[in-house]
Protein backbone atom coordinates (compact mmCIF):
# COMPACT_ATOMS: atom_id res chain seq x y z
CA UNK A 1 0.00 0.00 0.00
CA UNK A 2 1.04 3.59 -0.52
CA UNK A 3 2.14 5.89 2.26
CA UNK A 4 3.18 9.50 2.31
CA UNK A 5 5.52 11.04 4.88
CA UNK A 6 6.20 14.62 5.81
CA UNK A 7 8.78 16.06 8.17
CA UNK A 8 9.19 17.77 10.37
CA UNK A 9 5.73 17.60 11.94
CA UNK A 10 6.10 21.00 13.57
CA UNK A 11 8.59 23.81 13.08
CA UNK A 12 9.12 27.21 14.67
CA UNK A 13 11.42 29.51 12.74
CA UNK A 14 12.43 33.18 13.03
CA UNK A 15 11.63 35.65 10.29
CA UNK A 16 14.39 35.71 7.69
CA UNK A 17 15.57 32.16 8.32
CA UNK A 18 15.64 29.47 5.59
CA UNK A 19 13.13 26.65 5.27
CA UNK A 20 13.22 23.11 4.01
CA UNK A 21 10.21 20.79 4.27
CA UNK A 22 10.39 17.28 2.89
CA UNK A 23 7.78 14.91 1.54
CA UNK A 24 8.31 11.33 0.40
CA UNK A 25 5.92 8.78 -1.02
CA UNK A 26 6.26 5.00 -0.76
CA UNK A 27 4.57 2.21 -2.64
CA UNK A 28 4.01 3.94 -5.95
CA UNK A 29 6.08 5.09 -8.90
CA UNK A 30 5.95 8.20 -11.03
CA UNK A 31 3.31 10.03 -8.98
CA UNK A 32 2.09 13.59 -9.35
CA UNK A 33 3.15 15.52 -6.26
CA UNK A 34 1.63 18.65 -4.71
CA UNK A 35 2.36 21.22 -2.01
CA UNK A 36 -0.54 23.04 -0.36
CA UNK A 37 -0.71 25.65 2.37
CA UNK A 38 -3.61 25.97 4.76
CA UNK A 39 -4.07 29.02 6.96
CA UNK A 40 -5.79 28.50 10.32
CA UNK A 41 -9.48 27.73 9.83
CA UNK A 42 -9.24 28.11 6.08
CA UNK A 43 -9.20 26.05 2.90
CA UNK A 44 -6.30 24.62 0.93
CA UNK A 45 -4.20 26.75 -1.40
CA UNK A 46 -2.18 24.91 -4.05
CA UNK A 47 1.39 26.19 -4.10
CA UNK A 48 3.25 23.84 -6.44
CA UNK A 49 2.75 20.64 -8.33
CA UNK A 50 5.09 18.29 -10.15
CA UNK A 51 4.43 15.70 -12.83
CA UNK A 52 8.00 14.35 -12.87
CA UNK A 53 11.57 14.71 -11.65
CA UNK A 54 12.77 18.27 -12.07
CA UNK A 55 9.34 19.42 -13.34
CA UNK A 56 7.79 22.05 -11.08
CA UNK A 57 4.76 24.24 -11.73
CA UNK A 58 4.12 27.22 -9.47
CA UNK A 59 0.55 28.26 -8.80
CA UNK A 60 1.05 31.48 -6.83
CA UNK A 61 3.85 34.05 -6.69
CA UNK A 62 5.64 33.91 -3.38
CA UNK A 63 9.01 33.56 -1.72
CA UNK A 64 8.75 29.78 -1.65
CA UNK A 65 10.21 27.31 -4.11
CA UNK A 66 9.87 23.58 -4.70
CA UNK A 67 12.14 20.89 -6.04
CA UNK A 68 11.78 17.24 -6.96
CA UNK A 69 15.23 15.68 -6.92
CA UNK A 70 13.91 12.11 -6.98
CA UNK A 71 10.77 10.44 -8.29
CA UNK A 72 9.10 10.15 -4.88
CA UNK A 73 10.64 13.13 -3.08
CA UNK A 74 9.24 16.65 -3.04
CA UNK A 75 10.88 19.51 -1.16
CA UNK A 76 9.50 22.93 -0.25
CA UNK A 77 12.05 25.64 0.45
CA UNK A 78 12.53 29.28 1.24
CA UNK A 79 15.66 31.38 1.52
CA UNK A 80 14.07 33.91 3.90
CA UNK A 81 10.83 33.23 5.75
CA UNK A 82 8.15 35.89 6.20
CA UNK A 83 5.56 36.08 8.97
CA UNK A 84 2.91 35.38 6.35
CA UNK A 85 4.52 32.01 5.60
CA UNK A 86 3.10 30.60 8.83
CA UNK A 87 0.55 27.85 8.23
CA UNK A 88 -0.10 24.17 7.82
CA UNK A 89 1.78 22.73 4.85
CA UNK A 90 0.40 19.65 3.21
CA UNK A 91 1.96 17.38 0.63
CA UNK A 92 -0.21 15.18 -1.56
CA UNK A 93 0.22 12.65 -4.35
CA UNK A 94 -1.91 11.25 -7.13
CA UNK A 95 -1.53 8.47 -9.66
CA UNK A 96 -0.63 9.51 -13.16
CA UNK A 97 -1.91 7.98 -16.36
CA UNK A 98 -4.84 6.18 -14.81
CA UNK A 99 -8.51 7.01 -14.80
CA UNK A 100 -8.43 8.44 -11.31
CA UNK A 101 -7.60 11.93 -10.09
CA UNK A 102 -7.82 11.39 -6.36
CA UNK A 103 -5.15 13.10 -4.30
CA UNK A 104 -3.94 11.58 -1.06
CA UNK A 105 -2.54 13.79 1.63
CA UNK A 106 0.30 13.51 4.10
CA UNK A 107 0.06 14.35 7.81
CA UNK A 108 1.22 17.94 7.30
CA UNK A 109 3.84 20.26 8.81
CA UNK A 110 2.78 23.04 11.15
CA UNK A 111 5.07 26.04 10.51
CA UNK A 112 5.14 29.04 12.83
CA UNK A 113 7.25 32.01 11.81
CA UNK A 114 8.02 34.41 14.68
CA UNK B 1 -11.49 33.31 -6.64
CA UNK B 2 -12.36 29.71 -5.97
CA UNK B 3 -14.77 27.97 -8.27
CA UNK B 4 -16.00 25.64 -5.54
CA UNK B 5 -17.77 26.98 -2.47
CA UNK B 6 -19.84 25.87 0.49
CA UNK B 7 -23.18 27.23 1.71
CA UNK B 8 -22.68 26.65 5.45
CA UNK B 9 -19.40 27.21 7.22
CA UNK B 10 -20.51 25.41 10.42
CA UNK B 11 -23.02 22.63 10.90
CA UNK B 12 -24.13 21.45 14.36
CA UNK B 13 -25.84 18.09 14.43
CA UNK B 14 -27.15 15.85 17.17
CA UNK B 15 -25.47 12.48 17.54
CA UNK B 16 -27.45 9.88 15.67
CA UNK B 17 -29.03 12.35 13.26
CA UNK B 18 -28.17 12.57 9.58
CA UNK B 19 -25.86 15.35 8.33
CA UNK B 20 -26.00 17.06 4.97
CA UNK B 21 -23.11 19.18 3.75
CA UNK B 22 -23.58 21.21 0.60
CA UNK B 23 -21.18 22.49 -2.01
CA UNK B 24 -21.62 24.60 -5.14
CA UNK B 25 -19.24 24.57 -8.08
CA UNK B 26 -19.04 26.99 -10.97
CA UNK B 27 -16.94 25.21 -13.60
CA UNK B 28 -19.35 23.30 -15.80
CA UNK B 29 -16.38 21.49 -17.36
CA UNK B 30 -15.54 19.78 -14.05
CA UNK B 31 -16.26 16.08 -14.22
CA UNK B 32 -14.76 14.64 -11.06
CA UNK B 33 -15.62 15.53 -7.47
CA UNK B 34 -14.22 14.44 -4.12
CA UNK B 35 -15.16 14.88 -0.49
CA UNK B 36 -12.43 15.03 2.12
CA UNK B 37 -12.60 14.97 5.91
CA UNK B 38 -9.99 16.83 7.92
CA UNK B 39 -9.63 16.34 11.66
CA UNK B 40 -7.84 18.94 13.72
CA UNK B 41 -4.09 18.95 13.11
CA UNK B 42 -4.22 16.23 10.45
CA UNK B 43 -4.13 16.04 6.69
CA UNK B 44 -7.37 15.69 4.70
CA UNK B 45 -8.63 12.16 4.37
CA UNK B 46 -10.41 10.90 1.26
CA UNK B 47 -14.05 10.00 1.95
CA UNK B 48 -15.79 9.42 -1.35
CA UNK B 49 -15.70 10.56 -4.96
CA UNK B 50 -18.09 10.76 -7.87
CA UNK B 51 -17.76 11.28 -11.59
CA UNK B 52 -20.10 13.39 -13.66
CA UNK B 53 -21.64 10.37 -15.37
CA UNK B 54 -23.28 9.51 -12.03
CA UNK B 55 -25.70 11.42 -9.82
CA UNK B 56 -25.37 9.33 -6.67
CA UNK B 57 -22.76 7.17 -5.03
CA UNK B 58 -22.87 5.44 -1.69
CA UNK B 59 -20.19 4.38 0.73
CA UNK B 60 -20.18 3.27 4.31
CA UNK B 61 -22.63 5.66 6.05
CA UNK B 62 -21.93 8.32 3.41
CA UNK B 63 -23.71 9.25 0.21
CA UNK B 64 -22.61 11.82 -2.35
CA UNK B 65 -25.21 13.42 -4.62
CA UNK B 66 -24.35 15.36 -7.75
CA UNK B 67 -26.76 17.69 -9.52
CA UNK B 68 -25.07 18.87 -12.70
CA UNK B 69 -28.03 21.00 -13.73
CA UNK B 70 -27.52 23.41 -10.83
CA UNK B 71 -23.85 22.53 -10.26
CA UNK B 72 -24.44 21.30 -6.74
CA UNK B 73 -22.75 18.59 -4.71
CA UNK B 74 -23.75 17.25 -1.33
CA UNK B 75 -22.42 14.80 1.23
CA UNK B 76 -24.85 12.97 3.45
CA UNK B 77 -23.63 11.25 6.60
CA UNK B 78 -26.04 8.77 8.16
CA UNK B 79 -26.32 8.35 11.93
CA UNK B 80 -23.67 10.98 12.67
CA UNK B 81 -21.18 9.96 15.35
CA UNK B 82 -18.82 12.01 17.53
CA UNK B 83 -15.93 10.79 15.36
CA UNK B 84 -17.53 12.57 12.41
CA UNK B 85 -16.71 15.95 13.96
CA UNK B 86 -14.27 17.52 11.51
CA UNK B 87 -14.01 19.97 8.63
CA UNK B 88 -15.30 18.65 5.33
CA UNK B 89 -14.01 19.89 1.98
CA UNK B 90 -15.38 19.34 -1.48
CA UNK B 91 -13.03 19.44 -4.44
CA UNK B 92 -13.43 19.34 -8.19
CA UNK B 93 -11.30 18.86 -11.23
CA UNK B 94 -11.32 18.11 -14.92
CA UNK B 95 -10.18 14.56 -15.59
CA UNK B 96 -6.85 14.19 -17.35
CA UNK B 97 -6.11 17.90 -17.09
CA UNK B 98 -2.45 18.74 -16.65
CA UNK B 99 -1.25 17.82 -13.19
CA UNK B 100 -4.64 16.48 -12.07
CA UNK B 101 -5.13 19.66 -10.08
CA UNK B 102 -8.02 19.92 -7.67
CA UNK B 103 -9.92 23.08 -6.74
CA UNK B 104 -11.06 23.03 -3.12
CA UNK B 105 -13.97 24.69 -1.43
CA UNK B 106 -13.57 26.67 1.77
CA UNK B 107 -14.71 23.84 4.06
CA UNK B 108 -17.63 23.17 6.43
CA UNK B 109 -17.06 22.42 10.09
CA UNK B 110 -19.33 19.69 11.46
CA UNK B 111 -19.85 19.65 15.22
CA UNK B 112 -21.57 16.58 16.64
CA UNK B 113 -23.44 17.18 19.90
CA UNK B 114 -23.78 14.21 22.28
With a CB cutoff of 8 Å and minimum separation 6, the contacts of B75 are B19, B20, B21, B23, B35, B47, B48, B62, B63, B64, B88, B90
Residue of A nearest to B34 (CA): A102
Instruction: Chain B: give the shortest CA distance to residue A34, in Å.
Output: 9
pLDDT bucket at A96, cuts 50 / 70 / 90: confident
Chain B: residues touching A (Cβ < 8 Å): 2, 32, 34, 36, 41-46, 49, 89, 91, 93, 95-96, 98-102, 104-107
End-to-end CA distance of chain A: 38
Rg from Cα positions in chain B: 14
Instruction: Chain A: give the shortest CA distance to residue B64, in Å.
Output: 15
Instruction: Chain B: give the shortest CA distance to residue A43, in Å.
Output: 5
Nearest CB to A103; choose among B102, B105, B107: B102
pLDDT number for residue B96? 67
Mutate to test the interface with A, among B9, B45, B101 (most CBs of A within 10 A): B101
pLDDT number for residue A113? 97
Output the tens digit of pLDDT for each of chain B's 114 residues. 334 444 448 999 999 999 999 999 888 888 899 999 999 999 999 999 999 999 999 999 999 999 999 999 999 999 999 999 999 999 998 776 677 788 898 899 999 998
Q: How far apart are CA A60 and CA A36, in angstroms?
A: 11
Amino acid sequence: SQTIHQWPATLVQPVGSPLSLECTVEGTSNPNLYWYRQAAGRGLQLLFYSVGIGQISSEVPQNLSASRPQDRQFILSSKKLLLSDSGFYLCAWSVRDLDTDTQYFGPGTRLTVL
Amino acid sequence: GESVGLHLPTLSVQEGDNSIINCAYSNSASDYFIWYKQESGKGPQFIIDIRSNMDKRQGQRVTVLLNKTVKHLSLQIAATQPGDSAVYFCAENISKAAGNKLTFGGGTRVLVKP
